[in-house]
Structure 1
């Protein structure tokens, strides 16, 4: 069973000491050890750490990128929140 995170939980993972997580769609990804591998550089990942990166991710990446790296980086799912 996948771990469930709230957006607030993910917000606590925004530096290399605690780990760096991002949200893409409904998935939560640990990018801490991916910083040096990211073709666009670590700077943008550090800027997005602890946040919902969905819009930025899909602006620059296709589905194949998430298929390639998502499996090894995904640590859980985003909790569903009530829509008003």
Structure 2
């Protein structure tokens, strides 16, 4: 998967707005910051939620975000090493 496609897919899937054009590395770093912030917010919400259905939804979303963070780190590492 290409970098542009990854950024577009993750931004669309997780409703992350405010993505501006920048270099590939910078775009991925910004995306990873937003993903980390969103994961942190989900963790915080998980502690406060008592509803089992909502809890399950949040856990699924957290798993997706964690997977995307791993994928983004892999792409960023590949980009830093010069492809």
Structure-1-length-normalised TM-score: 0.25
Structure-2-length-normalised TM-score: 0.25
- With CA pairs under 8 Å and 6+ residues apart, which has the higher RCO, 1 or 2? 1
Indicate the structure with greater strand content.
1
Indicate the structure with greater helix content.
2
Structure index of larger Rg: 2
